[in-house]
Amino acid sequence: MIEIICDQYEFYAPEDFDNLIAEPFEFEGTLEIIKQHAEKGESLKILVRNPALFDWFDAARKYGAKKQIIDPVIMLADKLGLQAMPEYLKNNPYWVVELGLIKKCEETPIHGSSADNWLKRIMIGEAWTKNEPSSTTDLSKIFYFLINTRESDLHELEKYLISDCLICWSNNKLDSAELFSWLIANPFTRAKYIIWEQLLSLFPEDKISAWLQLDNVWYELTLFPNRHQLPRLDAQTQLPESITSFVRFFLDEEWMISPEKALSFISGTMEFEKSFLLEKLRKQLHDEVAINNFVSLLSG
């Protein structure tokens, strides 16, 4: 059999074919090769990247050649066992190749869900497939993804899926709709702002608002006035050094007045808190203060 495959999205590797045709000047010679193979009854596989050039090979039909156009979206739909595929994928078939989605569907079966939900699950996580992500677990997973992902590292499909989810959730009649509406403008940065404020929640509110004035963080947070109704999210990130400097200065001042009071602001979840306590422990030892007094402070 003589096969001529149009593969403009480079799904196949050239090594899998006898000939790769990329330039118009190669057509005449290739047509002669097709004729020779047809006369000898030999098989031949030709790969064409340019769709316009592929049309020229209608002339090879008289030699019994079979023409086929590779559509990655159709191939993915066949693998998933689906009839309907999302428009955003149909409009960008090269995404299927770039992201290796056909291989991914072999590794992670669809299990009866839609193509849209399957893509969200494999690309950005299970929590993003929910119609109403309102549980603490779901919100924590969504925030964990946002604060631990660099937007610049994301593929265009991932960016699209995130934006699509946020817009959809913001239009739902959910308690969390306001949160998602607020996140849309800058989800990766604003998610961090929420976590920063929650990490600082043990400190006086006037101090938190002062420390977060830098880079308009506090202003951004005030655009979401109901953020304090959010549950405590299980998502950790480092505070910027500029903020931790203010916090350490505050803790130092409080420690001089009352170590017990200073300890009441420490959650034990942030690295700078641990270094602060180690510093105080070393000072206590240097000053020959009984270690059991310091330990009782920590356990008290």
Is the C-alpha dihedral spanning 16, 19, 24, 28 positive or negative? negative
For residue 194, what pLDDT is reported?
Answer: 97
Contact yes or no for 230/179 (Cβ under 8 A): yes
Residue 47 and residue 23: Cα distance in Å, rounded? 12
Quickly tell me which residue has 């991914």 as its tokens.
Answer: 104
Residue 255 and residue 118: Cα distance in Å, rounded? 53
For residue 270, what pLDDT is reported?
Answer: 86
Is the model more confident about 260 or about 211? 211
Q: Model pTM?
A: 0.84
Residue 126 and residue 299: Cα distance in Å, rounded? 39
Length reported for the chain:
300
Three-point CA angle 78, 84, 85, nearest 5°: 80
DSSP 46-82: EEE--HHHHHHGGGGGGGT-EEEE--HHHHHHHHHT-
- pLDDT tens-digit readout, 118-167: 999 999 999 999 988 989 999 999 999 999 999 999 999 999 999 999 99
Band the pLDDT of 174: cuts 50, 70, 90: confident
Q: Provide the CA 21 distance to its chain's centre, in angstroms.
A: 37
Residue 24 and residue 45: Cα distance in Å, rounded? 18
The overall average pLDDT reported for the chain is: 91
% the chain with pLDDT above 90: 75
- pLDDT tens-digit readout, 185-234: 999 999 999 999 999 999 999 999 999 998 899 999 999 999 999 999 99
For residue 298, what pLDDT is reported?
Answer: 53
Is the C-alpha dihedral spanning 172, 177, 180, 184 positive or negative? positive
